[in-house]
Each structure stands twice: as C-alpha cells, then as structure tokens.
A and B are shown apart, each in its own frame.
Chain A
Amino acid sequence: MRRLTDIICVFRIQLMSMRAEAGPFFLAALVFPAGMYLFANAVGGVEAAQNQSRLRFLAGSIVFSLSLTSISWLGYLLLENRFTGRLKLFATLPLAPSSYILGFLGFAFVQAALGTTVLVLIGRILGVVMRPSLPLLTLVVMLTVLCLCGFGVIIAARARSFTEGSLLTDALGAGLVFLAPVYYTPETMPQSLRIVSQFLPTTFAARAVRTTLTGGHQIGSDALALGIMAVVTLALGFRMTKWRED
C-alpha cells in the first residue's frame, strides 16, 4: 500500500509537471506522427491508395508516437530530474528507486494511451478502414512502452551529461523508427539494414500494431519478443538507477 502511494505520487508529480509542457508533448505524441502519416501517404503514390498501405502508415505513426514519448520525452524528463538536482530530492526520501521508475512508467502509459487513441481517431477520420482489437492493441502498446521506456531509463541513468543523454534519447527515439520497416516494407530496405531491423523493438511493435488494427490475433511471437526486450531493458534500467553513489 505504501509502495502504491509512492508510485502514485511520483506519477502525479510528473502529470502535474506536464501542465507547463503540454505543447512539446502534443508535438511528440501527435503532431509529428500525424504529419509523418500524411507525408508517407503523399509520397506513397499508387501504393498509398490501398488500405493495407494506409494501415501500415498508421501503425508506423503509432509506433513513432510511442517511441518519441517513451524514449525521447520520458528520457528527457528523467535526465532533467537527474541533472537539475530533482533526483536528489527524491533520494532524500524513504522512497525506493523502483517506485520512482514505476511512477514514470505509469506516466508513460497515460501518454501512450492518449497518443494512440488520438492517432487511431485521426486514421478513422482520414478514411483508414480498420477493426481494431482493443485488448490486443492495448497489450502491444503496453509492451512497446515498457520496452522503449527501458531504453530511456538506461540512458538517463548512464549519461555523463544532460547534453549527451538528450542527444542519445532523441537519436534513439527517432532512429529506432527510421531504421525499422515501419513506414515501408522490409523488401525495400538495403540487405544490411534489413538484418539489423529484424532485432529492433520497433519492427516487432509496428507489425503487432498493424495486426491488431486489422482485428488479427497473430501477435504471439511479436508480443513475446517485445516482452523479453522489456524485461531485459527495464531490469537493466532498474539496476542502474540508484539513490546512492559509490
């Protein structure tokens, strides 16, 4: 019960902080991904007219939104806490480092829910035909958020400076999307990149999101891969986040 209160308090602190930072959040979670959807449609030519391609672009934009909010934005907030001394404030409290991270994860889920819902609605308005399986879509989004947040937590814990950390989170937030077959098919990618992309969480996430948007249920292997990656990255992130210096 005590732990839950701690997690909720950390979550509320971040949520309240968002009042002053709603603009950048909407840019990262909605404007850029929606813009990318329109851009992909515009350059897609004849292929873009097919609903299958539009679904791929929409799924790509949802993953782009998750990546920007979970790695870039959340990583930025964690870095800001660390390098502006706010983390010290938490460290003075009888609060477990894991409660601090879990509070952040709760905040990330809210952001992801908001971003994904709005993007699905935008897709509908723009005429994308879909039959989303909401429970499975929720599961995939949660696994993706956990996995990507793990990267943000690791970078925030290990970065030697705020500049280094924010550069890394920005690069990874966008890079993981553009190195994976998110907006285009794997066949159009260079061979070397295709091999790399097979191991990226965004590849699994985009495929699973696309499947759930069409009402499909065959997400087992993608969900498993995302789950394993989430466990690994978060375990590392939890381990690296310490209140106490040696």
Chain B
Amino acid sequence: MVTGETLLEQEQARGTGQILDRTEPVAVRVRGLVKRYADGTEANRGIDLDVRRGELVSILGPNGAGKTTFLRQLSTELRPSGGSIEMFGMNAVSAPQRVKQMMGITPQEAGVFGSLTVREHFELFGRLKNLSKVEASAATREIIRSLGLVAETGKRVGSLSGGQRRRILIGLALLGRPPLLVLDEPTTGLDPSSRLAVWGVIRRAVTDGATVILSTHYMEEAERLSDRIGIIAQGRLIAFDTLDELLSRLERSYRLSYRDPLDPFGELCVHYFANFNEAREQVAVAQLSEYSIARASLEDVYFTLTGEHFAPGEAESA
C-alpha cells in the first residue's frame, strides 16, 4: 500500500504546482512562498503554484496545514516571509493595493455591518470597489438576485441568519466582477441549498472569465467545482492536479470499508485494492457480511496523501 508519506515525497520530488502547458496565460504565479510566524512556526514552506486565467482551483488540507495562511498571503492580508506572488504580472507583495483592485476576497472570518440593509451594504461596498453609483446599484441588484437574497433586500443584515450573512460576504467579493476571486472556505456554515446557490454563482463567475482560488473542507465541493485541486499538508503543496490525474495516482483505487463483525461499534476498517476482485477476495477471506466496496474518490486521495485517517463519523458518511 502506498503510504501518505511516500506519496508526499513523490509529489515533492515531482515539483507539483507548476503548470505544464506554458502557452496558457497565468493569472497567479507563486514561487517559494514561505510564511514563518514570530513564534517560529512555519505555516507555509516553499509553495510553488501557477493558476491559469479562467481556472477554478480548490485548496484542500487538514486543519492547521497552512491553507488559510496561504490564502491570506494571496489576498495580501498577510506579508510573506519569503518567496513571491504575482497576480496578472503584478507583484502582490510590494503592491497590495494595486492587486486588490483586481481581486474579490472572502476572508474566513469577516464581519458584516448589522445595522445596514442588504442593499445598502452592497451599494456602499460597491462604491468602495471603485464602481460608480449607477454601476454599484446595478451590481447590487444582480448579486442579490444571483445569491437568492431578493426577499432580504431591505432587511437589516443583523437580522439575517448566519448562512445569509455568509452569502453576503461572498457577494461582496463578487461585486464589480473582479478577474480574480480568493475565497477562504466560502460555503462553510451554509445549508445545502445555499451551498448550491453559491456554487452556481462561483461557476458563473468562472464562465464569465474569472479566476478563482478557494479553500474548502468539503471534498464534494472541490470535486464538483474545480478545474484543478491542490492539497496542502504540513505547509507544503503536496499535490496539484486535475481530479482525474489525482485519482490515477492511486495505485489501489478500490476501497473496501467494513466493521469488525465481532466489534460492530468499533472503528471503521478501510483497505485499498488494485481491483474489484482483490477486494472481493478480502471479503471472502475475512468472512464479511456487511461491507462496502467503492471506487476511490478525492477523499481517498486526500487521506492517502495527507496520511490522515477516517474519523468514524466521516467514514460513515463517505
């Protein structure tokens, strides 16, 4: 079985992150990005990444792996300790104000102005994004409609649910159709229908030509939205490719999951096999009556690469 550590080494050796097709224009170019905090913690350890224009890239990784640090540096909120970030050819480290004119950003933890109405919030922030009054008003109507907030237009933001406020934050990033969106866990805390609405809005932005970099904990989100997926572990980008390419890297792409018949409340056992028959053989050998055999998914790639294990709750829903 391929361990997470082995794959991690393989990925590092391959120098993942840099695009192969050099004819495509690059929107974001990151080289040797390092973030070292004052207490010595190295949150990012030399990340290299190229994102093409019009591409949607998802960044996955365990808690504390360095995803948010990476996105905060991209959004210019955090100054890198080393390396470079270029956005549309501009140096994002030395000219943050200039690159922010081309960016829509949803931070992981940002607050909204509860006493403003939804319309006021969008219109005022539209003006702050260099839109004229007429443009801000038109953009507000469009965003409110696309995010399904029409009924809330005149309501105070403070009276809305957490999910609706999160949608407002995403809408603020989309205002003015910026060519680059940096979204840190945009759908965390949203109910399924809101999540679908947000996915639709993000995908539409990409169709309109925007480049999107988002971080997420949801595998389904990464699978359904992304053109390419990056996995960060221990501060390093250990994989960066399309979903198909990532799946093809698994030598054992069939997953058998079961519980020990003698200990039905014990931990879920997960094993990987090269083909379906091998998995069936294992079922026969172990005399399993309740089990599941499935094709490997992004989740399997993720767990294999990061070396993380299935939590019982996660495994059941997987």
The residues of A with any CB-CB pair to B shorter than 8 Å are 2, 5-6, 9-10, 12-13, 16-21, 81, 84-86, 88-96, 243-246
Contacts and interface: CB of A to CB of B under 8 A. Distances in A.
Interface string B100-142: 1101111101111111100010001101111000000000000
B290 to A, nearest CB: 46
A2 B130 contact: yes
B77 A9 contact: no
A160 to B, nearest CB: 14
Nearest to A6: B128
B79 A17 contact: no
A88 B97 contact: no
B288 interface: no
Given A86-B110, A92-B105, A245 B128 contact: no
Given A13-B124, A95-B128, A244-B77, A85 B111 contact: yes
Contact of B79 (A2, A19, A85, A245): A245
Contacts of B109: 85, 88
A104 to B, nearest CB: 14
A4 B68 CA distance: 33
* Interchain residue pairs A-B with the least CB separation, the first 8: A85-B111, A92-B105, A84-B111, A20-B115, A86-B111, A94-B100, A88-B110, A85-B110
Interface of B: 38, 72, 75-79, 96-98, 100-101, 103-107, 109-116, 120, 124-125, 127-130, 156, 158, 169, 172-173
Contacts of B127: 5, 9
Contacts of A95: 128
A85 B77 contact: no
A33 to B, nearest CB: 25
Given A244-B77, A245-B79, A96 B111 contact: no
B107 A85 contact: yes
Given A9-B128, A94-B97, A244 B115 contact: no
Query: Which of B100, B128, B172 is packed against the most chain A CB atoms within 10 Å?
Result: B128
B129 A89 contact: no
25 contacts: A2-B130, A16-B113, A16-B124, A17-B113, A17-B116, A19-B115, A20-B115, A85-B109, A86-B113, A88-B77, A89-B107, A89-B112, A89-B172, A92-B77, A92-B103, A92-B105, A92-B107, A93-B125, A93-B129, A94-B97, A94-B100, A94-B130, A243-B96, A245-B78, A246-B38
Given A9-B127, A85-B107, A85-B111, A16 B78 contact: no
A12 B113 contact: no
A90 B114 CA distance: 15
A16 to B, nearest CB: 6
A133 to B, nearest CB: 37
Contacts of A245: 72, 77-79
Nearest to B175: A93
Nearest to B99: A94
Contacts of B113: 13, 16-17, 86
B112 A246 contact: no
Given A17-B115, A85-B111, A93-B129, 9 more contacts: A85-B110, A86-B113, A88-B77, A92-B103, A92-B107, A94-B130, A243-B77, A244-B79, A246-B79
Residue with the highest number of chain A CB atoms closer than 10 Å, among B77, B156, B172, B173: B77
Nearest to A100: B128
Given A16-B120, A93-B125, A94-B101, A244 B76 contact: yes
A138 B114 CA distance: 33
Contact of A88 (B98, B103, B111, B120): B111
A100 to B, nearest CB: 10
Contacts of B76: 243-244
Contacts of B105: 92
Contacts of B104: 92
Most buried by B among A2, A244, A245: A244
Nearest to A95: B128
Contacts of B97: 94, 96
B100 A92 contact: yes
Contacts of A21: 115
